Amino acid sequence: MKLRSILLALAVASTGLTSAVVSTSAQAQVKEQFFPVLPYRTGAYAPNGVPWANGYVDYLKLVNARDGGINGVKISFEECDTAYATDRGVECYERLKGKAAGAIYQPLSTGITFALTEKAPTDKNSLITGGYGRSESSDGQVFKWNFPLMGTYWSGADIIMQYITKKEGGNIKGKKIALVYHDSPYGKEPIPLLQERAKIQGFELQLLPVTAPGVEQKATWLQVRQARPDYVLLWGWGVMNSAALKEAVATGYPREKLFGVWWSAAEPDVKDVGEAAKGYTGLVVTGDGGKVIQDVKKYVHDKKQGTGPAEEIDTTLYNRGLVSAVLAVEGVRRAQERFGKGKIMNGDQIRWGLENLALDDKALAKLGLSTIMKPISTSCLDHEGSRSARLHTWDGKKWVVSSDWIEADESIIKPLVKQYADKYAAEKKLTRRTAADCKS
């Protein structure tokens, strides 16, 4: 009996040891960096949200297929559809945040960004809000976890106004500028910058909000027809953009005097209007073509792993989504350079990586990204990293680049950023980060 007990104990111990070895071995083999994806493939804004999401996910797949991950760390991801609704965006964030000890969230919504700005610091999750979100969050001394990379709405509005000013020979005093905007945090973001420029340049600013989703705009464009502004700025999204262009056509407003932000100047916005939208101009921050596009086709779509249709590759919003994924991946890669290549990065480490991005021309060429994005570098003081864009014009069939790269005027924007960041810090009882914290 005693011998049997001993043998049984040895068997149990052996089984436990084997399980432990298998478990440890399995854990050692699982080296995945989790990337939450908060797209909207449903709802009123899906036609614009889908190509962005497809470009984003295709790039994550490309890094796994072509590179074997980030220095050997494979990428895992999970989507949670927000339908561009703030409450659903918060629900998605809460659902996914337990999947990793810190991750990068890209809400693709200014409203969701406002809500998550309060949550991210506690959870140590970084927010990349490339081309949207809180414009004052470019101040990294106040907004430690927010990264409005590649341009805020203040930068975008400033660039458009620079272009218009140059078009008018350098003087727009007395001109009428109307802003037709989505009546939401997104649409309201450019207003402080435009008001500041109106004071400086002496133009008259007319604000025309459009109730979401923006299908019905007849009353808005009746006001445009009555006021006869010299230029109209369009800050729309989804169906609002094509509806605005159709109303511009119906009221006879010249498309050559209509300028859209980067979320109002893509293929879905003009395809239903076609030739009638000819002359409409909008911002664009990405290029096209190049090695990365070839690689997506070769390593992802040719392997039948593409997220969406192949014909969508290299379109405006697809490329914007792809570049957004690049920023997230390179934030993790930069973190690995300091904290250990081939290791999974936690929230603090990822935040440091995003705050110390250094993607110059050489780095972009190595990644095959030279034609599709501009160099970007960030710091504790500057979470925006780059603030330039071009304009492209719809020729009736395709978008054609119609300007050189234009840099936003920091002499106007910086004081606004400090004013609004200080106001936010005072409301939330925050203190600016110290030099020591900036190095952490």
Evaluate whether residue 159 is within a structural domain: yes
Q: Are residues 292 and 424 in the same domain?
A: yes
pLDDT per residue, tens digit, the chain (440 aa), is: 444 444 444 444 444 433 333 333 333 456 899 999 999 999 999 999 999 999 999 999 999 999 999 999 999 999 999 999 999 999 999 999 999 999 999 999 999 999 999 999 999 999 999 999 999 999 999 999 999 999 999 999 999 999 999 999 999 999 999 999 999 999 999 999 999 999 999 999 999 999 999 999 999 999 999 999 999 999 999 999 999 999 999 999 999 999 999 999 999 999 999 999 999 999 999 999 999 999 999 999 999 999 999 999 999 999 999 999 999 999 999 999 999 999 999 999 999 999 999 999 999 999 999 999 999 999 999 999 999 999 999 999 999 999 999 999 999 999 999 999 999 999 999 999 998 999 88
For residue 96, give every residue at least 6 positions away whose Cβ sits within 8 Å of its Cβ, in sequence order, or none: 36, 38, 78, 80, 103
Q: Given the DSSP bridges, would you call strands 281-284 and 388-394 parallel, antiparallel or unpaired? A: antiparallel
Structure tokens at 128: 């990349």
Tell me which residue range forms the domain holding 232: 154-284
Cα–Cα dist 258/68, whole Å: 45
Identify the pLDDT of residue 236: 97
Identify the pLDDT of residue 23: 36
**Phi, psi of 312, deg, nearest 5:** -80, -20
Q: Are residues 320 and 416 in the same domain?
A: yes
Q: Are residues 228 and 361 in the same domain?
A: no
Cα–Cα dist 140/379, whole Å: 8
Cα–Cα dist 192/386, whole Å: 20
Q: What separation in angstroms does the CA of 285 have from each of 108, 179, 248, 395?
A: 16, 21, 25, 19
Evaluate whether residue 182 is within a structural domain: yes
Evaluate whether residue 383 is within a structural domain: no
Confirm if 56 and 37 have CB atoms less than 8 A apart: yes
Which of 284, 315, 334 finishes a domain? 284
Evaluate whether residue 53 is within a structural domain: yes
Identify the pLDDT of residue 440: 83
Q: Are residues 114 and 228 in the same domain?
A: no
Amino acid present at 369: L
CATH number for the domain harbouring residue 316 = 3.40.50.2300
Identify the pLDDT of residue 392: 98
Evaluate whether residue 63 is within a structural domain: yes
Q: What is the pTM of this model?
A: 0.92
Q: Are residues 160 and 271 in the same domain?
A: yes
Q: Are residues 49 and 74 in the same domain?
A: yes
For residue 412, give every residue at least 6 positions away whose Cβ sits within 8 Å of its Cβ, in sequence order, or none: 158, 193, 196, 197, 200
How many domains does the chain contain in total? 2
Which of 229, 250, 284 finishes a domain? 284
Contacts 24+ apart (CB under 8 A), 341-344: 341/71, 341/72, 342/31, 342/71, 342/72, 342/73, 343/73, 344/31, 344/32, 344/33, 344/73
Identify the pLDDT of residue 20: 38
Identify the pLDDT of residue 29: 53
Which of 284, 304, 323 finishes a domain? 284
Q: Are residues 168 and 237 in the same domain?
A: yes
Evaluate whether residue 15 is within a structural domain: no
Identify the pLDDT of residue 30: 65
**Considering just the CA atoms, what is the radius of gyration of the chain in Å?**
24
